[in-house]
Structure 1
Amino acid sequence: MSWEQQEYQQQGYPQQPYPQQQGYDYAYGGYQQPQYVQPPQYAQEPYPQQLYVDYGPQTAPLPVVDPEPEPEVAVVGEKPAEPAAEEKPLSKPAGRDRYFDTLRAVALIRVVTYHTFGWAWCGMVFPSMGIMFGLAGTLMAKSLERPALKVVRSRLRRLLPPFWFWGVFVVLAMLIHGWMPRHYTIVFWIVPFGDPPGNKWGVQAWEILWYLRTYLWFVLLSPLLLKVFRLARVPVLLLSLAPILVLNFVWAGPEGRLGNELWDFSTYLFCWILGFAHRDGVLERMKPAVVVVLSLAAIGYGGWYAFTHQGEVGTYDLDEIPLAQAFWSAGYVMLLMWAKAYFRIDFAWLTRYRRLDRVVTVFNARAVTIYLWHEIALILAVPLIDQFWNVPAFEKYLPLESQWFMFGIGWVLIAVFVLACGWVEDVAAKKKPRLLP
């Protein structure tokens, strides 16, 4: 679910890990640049060959008479020419990739929708978890251009304080309802390397922690995974589906927490590695026909497996069938990532709609808060609606029995939690606490 996007800056955030995107060219609006003739020695030199690094959408090349370099884009291995002293380049504000931001916001909305209505088809329409792991993998690959230890420490600092703050309330509520920790597993409420213990009363609140646990393991192993991936990018990407196949057909893994961790890690390993592939430009270099065929084949196999094995679990819900989830998410996320790289999609138009852009910004800046507290909001919505029955006007005019009404009340409570608890994410990021970003 996506706190790593706070690595970059918009409206007070730290510098964004994505490069400057098309549609954020604020610096040259209304300014007529002076033209001068480029010295012959530059005009005759061939332009250095661009290595295959994904810089996102690029603007049209500047004419020869304007040699002023783009400060955000650099060819790997090439040192950009220094601008003339009297002609310094204009600085450009960093922009966010609104395509990725929008995907993350929609993924969070889909998670809340699924947990409200329980529709099995939600995961097929929009596989939120696979998308969020893919986006996180892309950001992690970008961040690992810095020292690995510093990156991992930064990720833990951003993740753990919101988790601790949330956990205090959940653990306290379970203690009030008769739960008492009996062994060392209480440590998982401090660092969620495994599923933390709890009682049945609080299971609906803490069962969502599998995502944080899986994300934590991906973060810790990313320096090694990225090195292995760059030894042979395409083979490693394809082989990242092998672990889920082994667990499904060869060896089911150990029982208990370790087994759960292996299954979740293997289910979304391809999506995380796919984020590496997007960052390194692998998808952009692949032929469109190959990407489309492979993606549709993965989606087709995942869907076929889900529907032909629904008798084993009583549903075709992808969340209950890990192999189907792995292949469906793999094909779906690959198409989204490839479309981003190939068609240079950046959703820059979103900034023209200030309210919608604001909503997307809040969802991304409070992603951890929304994910952690949304189940508690849905839990509290039930007794709150029960009290509405005691008001005759509410009973007569409000659809109190409708799940859609509970869905709306749930979002109202989520908004309350964002205002009341979201500031913890600011503190974790070493920023000034705010009600809203």
Structure 2
Amino acid sequence: MTWDQQDPYQQNPYQQNPYQQSYNGYDYDPYGGRQQYAEDTYTQAPHETTPMPLVERQPVPEPRPVSEPEPTAAATAVGSRSAGRNGRAQPTAPSTETADAREPDPNPRPKPPARDRYFDTLRAVALIRVVTYHTFGWAWCGMVFPSMGVMFGLAGTLMAKSLERPAPKVVRSRLRRLLPPFWFWGFFVVLAMLIHDWMPGWQIVYWIVPFGDPPGNAWGEQAWEILWYLRTYLWFVLLSPPLLWIFRKAPVPVLLLSLVPILVLNFVWSGPDNRFGSALWDLSTYLFCWILGFAHRDGVLRRMKPALVIVGSLAAVGYGGWYAFSHQADFGTYDLDENPLAQAFWSAGFVMLLMWAKAYFTIDFRRLTRHRKLDRTVTIFNARAVTIYLWHEIALVLAVPLIDQMWNVPAFEKWLPLDSQWFMFGVGWILIAVFVVACGWVEDVAAKKKPKLLP
């Protein structure tokens, strides 16, 4: 029997299929399970008038008298669903629960994934693209897949979902998940810079809570220059409660107006030349992507006309690409990471297409669970996203002296492509895997979970 022929919800013939949108008075929400009406009743539909065929039952020997146990909550729920399906009570064997406990199903059905594998896959691809760009420095990487815009869009969606709970609790939870891995990583970076003659000032407080860019010396710049993403994410988390409230007052106008700040900074006022100004540029660059996550979560994208979304997205991508290539003389490259305005519009159009396709075509990548190794890889990338992002630059830095030592081994010099960047890329991923195993448990502790080497 193929995967498509199997129905993981046929273990109980009266159990509702969660992929059916509406059945017997229930509406199914793929994120939150079925939503029950206020009055949980099961009545026979008016059109169900055909009586059930009578089947002659064979006589069975009378069982020995035993003390009948109290029905459990699970058995009661199954019985009530059985009565609701056909409008009449169905007899159930008194020893069904005991038999099920004694004889487990030899062919267990796979359960549907609890997480959205489409978003998980996008996040994994974004992390791979980040490591690839920092290894090879290809300027076209950002145009093929604008990883930072994708990651902010996904984070905005999850933040909107989390804010269904009280906002202070959500913000504390986000800070708790982010800061301990950052502190653990920062301890080694700061210690290494102190050993290499760095003398910090009062700005070292940004290594505790990165509301601004943490300071450092040139020796550790390659390690700490990536912290702009954590700083921007932190500010978005703090600003999300009021942003979401404003967005829900006028969703489409607020979404369109979120591109105005980057236009103002680029053409009208460039902002202060300090940490606040740097944060302002990054917030303005990815504000549209973050609010786009709100729009996806609230169903705004799904309700928009496809033609409008496609034309608007292509227009934004076209403007971002034109601005990047027409201003190469100003930035020295067409790399989107060096051109905030081009990055903002290219990411806006690209991420909007990804989010709209997810909402309109209900893409979920459930079939990814068929490929266990690939599904396992996606799971690890998402459970260790902060660890991979923080430690990948250090892994690439350490790969260089490690490869230099390989030149001293004649066999390695003869048979390995030690001078190839692809070889450094492979060594870097091996070191990233080592850091994931050695340091990833901090993310478990931050999430109040049992620490594991691999999730």
Q: How many residues align?
A: 386
Q: Aligned partners of 2:410 and 2:133: how far apart in 1? A: 31
- Secondary structure of 1:207 counterpart: helix
Among candidates 10, 20, 44, match of residue 60 of structure 1: 20
Residue in 2 that maps onto 1:48: none
Among candidates 165, 175, 179, match of residue 160 of structure 1: 179
1:304-319 aligned at under 5 Å gives the runs 304-319=322-337
- Secondary structure of 1:251 counterpart: coil
1:367-382 aligned at under 5 Å gives the runs 367-382=385-400
Matching of residue 417 in structure 1 with residue 435 in structure 2: yes
Residue in 1 that maps onto 2:402: 384
Q: Aligned partners of 2:414 and 2:223: how far apart in 1? A: 32
- Secondary structure of 2:80 counterpart: coil
Residue in 2 that maps onto 1:42: none
Question: If you compute each CA radius of gyration, which structure gives the higher value, 1 or 2?
Answer: 2
1:69·1:80 contact (CA, 8 Å) conserved in 2? no
Report the AA paired with residue 414 of structure 1: I
Q: Deviations over 1:236-294 (max 9, x none)?
A: 00000000000000000000111100000000000000000000000000000000000
Question: Compared with structure 1, are the counterparts of its residues 390 and 149 closer, same or farther at alpha carbon in structure 2 (3 Å cutoff)?
Answer: same
Q: Deviations over 1:357-377 (max 9, x none)?
A: 000000000000000000000
- Secondary structure of 1:373 counterpart: helix
Q: Aligned partners of 1:29 and 1:242: how far apart in 2? A: 52
Q: Structure 1 residue 313: deviation in Å?
A: 1.2
2:14·2:81 contact (CA, 8 Å) conserved in 1? no
Q: Aligned partners of 1:231 and 1:199: how far apart in 2? A: 45
2:19·2:28 contact (CA, 8 Å) conserved in 1? no
2:160·2:293 contact (CA, 8 Å) conserved in 1? yes
Which stretches in structure 2 are left out of the alignment for 5+ residues? Answer: 43-76, 86-110
Q: Aligned partners of 1:30 and 1:299: how far apart in 2? A: 48
Q: Aligned partners of 1:34 and 1:79: how far apart in 2? A: 17
- Secondary structure of 1:363 counterpart: helix
> TM (normalized to structure 2)?
0.82
2:441·2:453 contact (CA, 8 Å) conserved in 1? yes
Residue in 1 that maps onto 2:14: 33
Q: Structure 1 residue 129: deviation in Å?
A: 0.1
Question: Compared with structure 1, are the counterparts of its residues 167 and 288 closer, same or farther at alpha carbon in structure 2 (3 Å cutoff)?
Answer: same
2:15·2:81 contact (CA, 8 Å) conserved in 1? no
Among candidates 122, 139, 146, match of residue 120 of structure 1: 139
Residue in 1 that maps onto 2:344: 326
2:21·2:28 contact (CA, 8 Å) conserved in 1? no
Among candidates 159, 177, 187, match of residue 140 of structure 1: 159
1:373·1:417 contact (CA, 8 Å) conserved in 2? yes
Superposed structure 1 runs of 4+ greater than 6 Å apart: none
Matching of residue 248 in structure 1 with residue 266 in structure 2: yes
Q: Aligned partners of 1:263 and 1:415: how far apart in 2? A: 33
1:136-285 aligned at under 5 Å gives the runs 136-182=155-201, 184-285=202-303
Q: Percent identity?
A: 77
Residue in 2 that maps onto 1:292: 310
Residue in 1 that maps onto 2:148: 129
> TM (normalized to structure 1)?
0.85
Identify which of structures 1 and 2 has the higher relative contact order when contacts are C-alpha pairs closer than 8 Å and 6+ apart.
1
Q: Aligned partners of 1:97 and 1:329: how far apart in 2? A: 22
The alignment yields a C-alpha RMSD, in angstroms, of 2.1
Matching of residue 436 in structure 1 with residue 429 in structure 2: no
Q: Structure 1 residue 392: deviation in Å?
A: 0.2
- Secondary structure of 2:115 counterpart: coil
Matching of residue 87 in structure 1 with residue 105 in structure 2: no
Residue in 2 that maps onto 1:109: 128
Q: Aligned partners of 1:243 and 1:373: how far apart in 2? A: 32
1:137·1:273 contact (CA, 8 Å) conserved in 2? yes
